[in-house]
Chains A and B, each alone.
Chain A
Amino acid sequence: MRDTLTGSRIRERRQISGMRQAELARQVGISASYLNLIEHNRRRIGGKLLVDIATALSVEPSLLTQGIEETLISALREAAADAVGQKAEVDGLEEFAGRFPGWSGVLAQMHRRVVSLERTVEIMSDRLTHDPHLAASMHEVLSTAAAIRSTAAILAEPGEIEAEWRDRFHRNLHQDAERLAESSKALVTYLDDSDGQRDLRGIPLDAVEAFFAEQGYHFPELEAGGQPTEVPLAELGSAAANTVASELLNLYAADARAMPLDQICAALDAADPDPLALAAAFSVDLATVFRRLAFLPEGTLARTAGLVICDASGSVLFYKPSPGFALPRHGEACPLWPLFTALNRPLVPIRKRVVQLGRTAAQFECFAIASPQPADTFGAEPVYRSVMLVLPVEDTVQPAENVAQAGASCRICPRRDCSARREPSILSEGF
């Protein structure tokens, strides 16, 4: 790249200095047509001629030969790949970066901001509907993003725009970038505060999941045969959260008794656990196996297992994350996950390779089963719950037809032709 872009930089510098091509050619003792070939990167240049041209343009030779940073090229390439409805001339990308390093930097920076914003939206989307303050803050962020996107697109168009407009847009970009930084920071502060007050916000499940996460989803006292009451819950702070946590700990203790840790470790293929074989070996149901595998000590399995439990309404009752796996905890999840499709076929074990639509396109081996809760009276309508074990996979070479697609929720899912779509996506329109 160093060699191929020197000509573009010479042209750029010459134009900045207001010198005609013929004048520069005369000064360095070559023909204008030869200089033209150099400036269009069709002739290599170095040695004395390069030094002479640099002297004539009053710049250091290194300024003409210095390559554009790979990271900038890579960032621009990503920006081009992510553009929807706008085809960038990727072939001319290095030349563009060479001729307009400043604008290239601005575009790359804006793209990084949009990516970062997109991640923020993914996290926030789940809570957006439930929190008017958050909705207003997100409106501020998205409006600023709209202004940045629109302005940056105008500046990136080929051809010149009037200097007055260009300067104004440059100023606006700067203002909006500052605003975006401030509003993002304010959002983070707000969310940090609200996390600290989760019980006051009336979401006991959040508190319980945070408690499980703090414990590493593993309770040695229960593994050793202890009672759930021995696990201190005082820090959860609310009676509702304590009740939910106690029920989960009771389930954990029962699972631990049915499948003792040392015996699981002896029977387990850590790289490729087989839930059906484990269920048969321990004479337990699959839901028990899924929970046990998800609550093993960190490092027992080769990959961090995720777990989701929901009821027949689709409400998530427990959520243990797995790297790259995202599902909203407060409703509006994608119904295509095996967790939910299992509810259509109770008691049928489901195993499916799923790719999570979105930027990471991570794949997971998902195991799910829906089963009725124990009845306390004869003739009662069965109440079903579904449990899904999520194992990240590194082997992503499965044929596409063997891999199902699912998103987090419609609002942040890029898939357009989806029969399960409930509402338009803010990502599918190129955000």
Chain B
Amino acid sequence: MSRKVLLIEDEPNITEAIRFLLTREGWQVETHAEGTDAVQVILSAQPDLVILDVMLPGKSGMDVLRDLREHDQMKALPVLMLTARGQSRDREMAEKAGVSRFMTKPFSNTEVLTAVRDLHAQASQS
């Protein structure tokens, strides 16, 4: 069965590059570019993994993550968070909100792929 990743990112060219990389790895990639309805989109898409940007239009990725973790069936969903701010307080905030992995822009493709593979492997084992 195809693995599904939902990429929530408002920067279209980042979306395009990540979509290319993950599709090539065998992932089914769905995308969304808004924060406001992101939780509903995740609930409806039921992905195996979410890649979530922090600065999104309408609602921040941090708030999306907090709201997402309120849903019992989404507590264990792997979420890789992307941000341009790498300060320790941002990481702490993301960890408190329930992030699985935190990545600072500009990241390398290898880092994204490694993170996605690791998170998926961990989720599959648990």
Contacts and interface: CB of A to CB of B under 8 A. Distances in A.
Interface of A: 84-86, 114, 129, 135, 138-139, 142-151, 153-154, 165, 168-169, 172, 175-176, 411, 422-426, 429-431
B110 A86 contact: yes
* 4 smallest beta-carbon distances between A and B, as pairs: A146-B106, A150-B17, A147-B13, A423-B88
Nearest to B103: A429
Given A86-B110, A135-B85, A150-B17, A424 B104 contact: yes
Contact of B84 (A143, A154, A176): A143
B20 A425 contact: no
A422 B110 CA distance: 26
A143 B17 contact: no
Interface residues of B, number: 26
B48 to A, nearest CB: 22
Nearest to A128: B85
B37 interface: no
Interface in B16-33: 16-18, 20-21
B126 to A, nearest CB: 26
Contacts of A176: 13
B105 A145 contact: yes
A146 B110 contact: no
B17 A154 contact: yes
B86 A151 contact: no
Contacts of A145: 105-106
Contacts of A150: 14, 17-18, 21, 106-109, 112
Contact of A429 (B18, B88, B107): B107
Contacts of B41: none
Interface of B: 11, 13-14, 16-18, 20-21, 55, 82, 84-89, 91, 104-112
Contacts of B55: 139, 143
Given A142-B105, A146-B106, A168 B87 contact: no
A29 B21 CA distance: 46
Given A135-B85, A139-B85, A149 B108 contact: yes
B17 A151 contact: yes
B104 A147 contact: no
Contact of B111 (A139, A142, A429): A429
B67 to A, nearest CB: 22
A207 B28 CA distance: 55
A393 to B, nearest CB: 32
A145 B105 CA distance: 8
Contacts of B14: 143, 146-147, 150
A411 B87 contact: yes
Contacts of B104: 424, 426, 429
A85 B111 contact: yes
